[in-house]
Amino acid sequence: MAAVVLAATRLLRGSGSWGRSRLRFGAPAYRQFSSGGAYPSVPLSSPLPGVPKPVFATVDGQEKFETRVTTLENGLRVASQNKFGQFCTVGILINSGSRYEAKYLSGIAHFLEKLAFSSTDRFDSKDEILLTLEKHGGICDCQTSRDTTMYAVSADSKGLDTVVGLLADVVLHPRLTDEEIELTRMAVRFELEDLGMRPDPEPLLTEMIHEAAYRENTVGLHRFCPTENIAKIDRSVLHSYLRNYYTPDRMVLAGVGVGHEQLVECARKYLLGARPAWGGGAAAHADASVAQYTGGIAKLERDMSSVSLGPTPFPELTHIMIGLESCSFLEGDFLPFAVLNMMMGGGGSFSAGGPGKGMFTRLYLNVLNRHHWMYNATSYHHSYEDTGLLCIHASADPRQVREMVEIITREFVLMAGTVDVVELERAKTQLMSMLMMNLEARPVIFEDVGRQVLATRSRKLPHELCALIRDVKPEDIKRVASAMLRRKPAVAALGDLSDLPAYEHVQAALANKDGRLPRTYRLFR
């Protein structure tokens, strides 16, 4: 007891090391804050002397949402959208892609994507191009789709003249040396091998569903270079294609974060009257074919049991994608189809994040929540200037393929049924939210400006699109879904297909009011 009292007494008196520590740090040290030392008499409500005046974005100045478009004498369109900030995104979009390869070897657009930003008349190598862009904090990229090729650069706005000059050289004056083409062949082979081995089947299924829906025409042509064509594509083949499709009237120079007059001046300097590496002259064989929807089935039997190795391998799955023709993005029904796609929604069987991840969409409520054995059910909408395709992709164990197909056909049939007002409003809000959120990013604004001007020579602004989305009614959804169901289906199937229903049975199920497959009877199981 005495020891406890002694210890308490020492603690209260501050004896020993504790006391010395308390005495050393007890008095508060004076700290000179920067706000009081450098500017002692300037209140926080007043600007600091000697500091440059900040520049803020305004809603009524040059920061309006207006997209300006100018057409040059050679037919090239220049489109710009002002955006506050130090950096800009500038690029050239071209009406060129795999859909225009009907008279050529399939895979040319795939090759051109890999050859982009290689050596040109002014730049001896890709490294030299990248070093030039680095001086302005820039990066570059090239992407090809079925109907558009896009060369883009993001860099400091002060380097606009350099960027446009570089883009013009990359697009119009590529050297396409034998060494570069051989390296591209290797890159294409590797990409094709990777496409067949990756666990995610979505890129391959998308290729297959287009092949089934548009048999051997336009958007149904191969987006990826077929293996047998890799060795056949050379400089003369590429020049023949470029001569017909890389013409000024098929191009748009788009910029976001730049002044319109400055962009037009750069376009006149580098793109007006420029003679390309493949020679001048008008395009003689540009394909103007309109997409012909055929419907049909594309199947690929494959052992998916070892697609994902490791201590916890992914289960063997069969993947099915069923699609029906919708409409082009130029038609008035495009937005009702977009709302319908959001209403279907879907995703993987595991989704973290709750309702914000689309847990109230039909494919979650009616499919994934009720059928635990389904690993995926997702809706996709592909739209082009003359056609469109609404698809549902589903994955399950190979033994339950027939039941999975019936569930998906039932969901297609239910699209033309009663539309709940609450789910419709939720889908419209979700679509508007996604639209506005995506348009926060400068590269997305650039692509939106370029694609719209390339297709329509003008641009619908975000608030106009939101107003059109709000006008979508339940009867619009029912009308477009009913019209879609009158078409033949397109089916893509990948994996173990031993239990896959016949194409005629899928077609019959979509024609039934309940979406059920015809019953089949077997004498032996």
Cα dist. 1→6, 11, 12, 14 in Å? 9, 16, 17, 20
Number of other residues whose CB lies within 10 A of the CB of residue 194: 10
pLDDT in tens, 381-396: 999 999 999 999 999 9
Higher confidence at residue 33 or residue 304?
Answer: 304
Residue 140 bridge partners (DSSP):
153
Higher confidence at residue 523 or residue 234?
Answer: 234
Q: Rounded mean pLDDT of 151-170?
A: 97
Confidence of residue 264 (pLDDT cuts 50, 70, 90): very high
**Predicted local confidence at residue 13, as pLDDT:** 45
Residue 403 pLDDT more than 70?
A: yes
**What is the distance between the alpha carbons of residues 366 and 356, in angstroms, rounded to a whole number?**
17
Alpha helix segments (H runs only) across 104-251: 108-115, 126-134, 160-172, 178-197, 202-213, 235-245
**What is the distance between the alpha carbons of residues 521 and 119, in angstroms, rounded to a whole number?**
64
Q: At what angle do helices 474-485 and 334-344 cross, to 10 degrees?
A: 90
First to last CA, the chain: 88
Which residue in the block uniquely carries the two structure tokens 């020049």?
A: 239
pLDDT above 70 covers a percentage of the chain that reads: 86
Q: Rounded mean pLDDT of 283-296?
A: 89
pLDDT in tens, 98-143: 999 999 999 999 999 999 999 999 999 999 999 999 999 999 999 9
Confidence of residue 453 (pLDDT cuts 50, 70, 90): very high
Cα dist. 91→150, 168, 369, 445, 468 in Å? 7, 9, 44, 12, 29
**Predicted local confidence at residue 522, as pLDDT:** 60
Q: Rounded mean pLDDT of 485-513?
A: 96
**What is the distance between the alpha carbons of residues 513 and 253, in angstroms, rounded to a whole number?**
49
pLDDT in tens, 457-492: 999 999 999 999 999 999 999 999 999 999 999 999
pLDDT above 90 covers a percentage of the chain that reads: 76
Supply angle C-alpha 170, 171, 175, rounded to 5.
60
Confidence of residue 26 (pLDDT cuts 50, 70, 90): very low
Decide: 156 and 105 in contact? Cβ < 8 Å. Answer: no
Averaged confidence pLDDT in the chain: 88
Residue 56 pLDDT more than 90?
A: no
Residue 493 bridge partners (DSSP):
299, 320
**What is the distance between the alpha carbons of residues 386 and 87, in angstroms, rounded to a whole number?**
35
pLDDT in tens, 429-443: 999 999 999 999 999
Confidence of residue 312 (pLDDT cuts 50, 70, 90): low
**What is the distance between the alpha carbons of residues 484 and 387, in angstroms, rounded to a whole number?**
12
Residue 301: φ, ψ to 5°? -70, 125
**What is the distance between the alpha carbons of residues 382 and 53, in angstroms, rounded to a whole number?**
48
Decide: 156 and 172 in contact? Cβ < 8 Å. Answer: no
Q: What is the dihedral of CA 23, 25, 27, 32, to 10 degrees?
A: 160
Number of other residues whose CB lies within 10 A of the CB of residue 508: 15
Decide: 359 and 423 in contact? Cβ < 8 Å. Answer: no
Residue 78 pLDDT more than 70?
A: yes
Q: Domains, the chain, ranges and CATH? A: 68-272 (3.30.830.10), 296-511 (3.30.830.10)
Q: Rounded mean pLDDT of 221-247?
A: 96
**Predicted local confidence at residue 10, as pLDDT:** 45
**Predicted local confidence at residue 27, as pLDDT:** 46
**Predicted local confidence at residue 358, as pLDDT:** 57
Question: Which long-range contacts link 47-55 to residues 24+ away (Cβ below 8 Å)?
Answer: none
**Predicted local confidence at residue 58, as pLDDT:** 62
Helix then strand then coil, % of the chain, to nearest 5: 45, 15, 40
Q: Rounded mean pLDDT of 331-344?
A: 97
Residue 46 pLDDT more than 90?
A: no
**Predicted local confidence at residue 310, as pLDDT:** 64
